[in-house]
Amino acid sequence: MNHFEFHGGELCCEGVPLARIAQAVGTPVYVYSSATLERHYQVLRDALTGVGIADPLIAFAVKANPNVAVLRTLARQGAGADVVSEGEIRRALAAGVPADRIVFSGVGKTRGEIAFALQTGVAEINVESEPELELIDAVGRELGVRAAVAIRVNPDVEAGGHAKISTGKADNKFGVSLAEAGRLYARAANMAGVRAVGVACHIGSQITDLSPMRAAFAKMRSLVERLRGEGLSVERLDLGGGLGVPYFNQPEPPPPAEYAAMIAEVVKGLDVRLAFEPGRMVAANAGVLVAQVLHIHERPEGRRFLVIDAAMNDLIRPAMYDAYHDIRPLRPRLGEHVIYDVVGPVCETGDTFTRDRPLPPLKAADLLAFMTAGAYGSAMASEYNSRLLVPEVLVKGDEFAVVRPRPTYDDMLARERTAPWF
């Protein structure tokens, strides 16, 4: 469920017409619903606790939507943060996420980032390789602390979805193999600068079938039992994220209640604290990208291009992942649907949001909403073609606030310096 619905002939975010936001802020603009963010977090939390999973750490994947106001909305619900850089740690802290609810993941942590995480007091660092384990140990000894670590395991499970967001196969860069996990865990348990507290896995994103998750989680249970059988303490099990969301053209993913029931069945009697790293399932349907039609370019051979003011630098998912986003006019249009290629102004053929999409008849200045854009939308935006970053707006009830303003061209140019020889 999301809170983007038609009221009085206008598409609204909660109690605010999106057209009102577009008029006040300009387009393109990202708009997020507080009520949807809160509800999605609550539904997942209630599903997990409802099957007897006590005190789960639900660490929102900051990479999905790093806006501090979004993170603060979730932090007030009790969410932690799954982070992959020092910058994301700083964003989570700025949003009010307690350090002891932050999980530091990622395959390429630097010495400086590890030191910052340990000085901050994050809950745990997920170790992705033996060289990284050695580095964390060295930094921990230098700082006089023992870093709480979980060994991230690549369970070699095919999870479906786009190849670029699949992370659980043996040929992916993430984590260590099951074969080496036991040796590394035992080594970590005997290091002076680290404290082995658990194991972790994360097999991908936008997974709409519970079967691969069940297979991966069963392997993780077996690993925990094997480690304990060797006399090693395992306190935590991080099962990652990955449960899909409805993108309108895909099969409906399993509801959180089924996901939680499957997990409870797999880990029954294991006595570990569970952690989860949802991103997309919390944020995707909580956001839209609002854009304006610039003009319609009709070719003699019948191709009809709907040219809008948003581009691939604003929402790169269709270009990068062939992702589908439902497109809705902010005001309903009567008449037979027309076939459009929806494109942006960037100088790339790849700046195409969709081809051969049937939409209501549209004209210049009409406003459109790209649905399910709250995750990996603004987070992946750039200034390609020297286009300004898109502003972000957060709605709560009948109020809205600009939570990241659109920069000016002077702002963009001021970040650069000329060379002294010019």
Catalytic residues: 347
CB atoms within 10 A of CB 100: 13
Residue 261, token pair as written in the block: 């029931």
Q: How far apart are CA 331 and CA 20, in angstroms?
A: 12
Strand partners, 48: none
Q: How far apart are CA 123 and CA 114, in angstroms?
A: 13
Q: How far apart are CA 379 and CA 383, in angstroms?
A: 12
Return the ∠ at Cα 242 (arms to 239 and 245), rounded to 5°. Answer: 145
**What Cα–Cα distance (Å) separates residue 1 from each residue in 21, 47, 260?**
22, 15, 18
Pairing status of strand 4-7 against strand 10-13: antiparallel
Best CA proximity match to 191, nearest among 237, 148, 236: 148
DSSP 304: E
CB 185 within 8 A of CB 151: yes
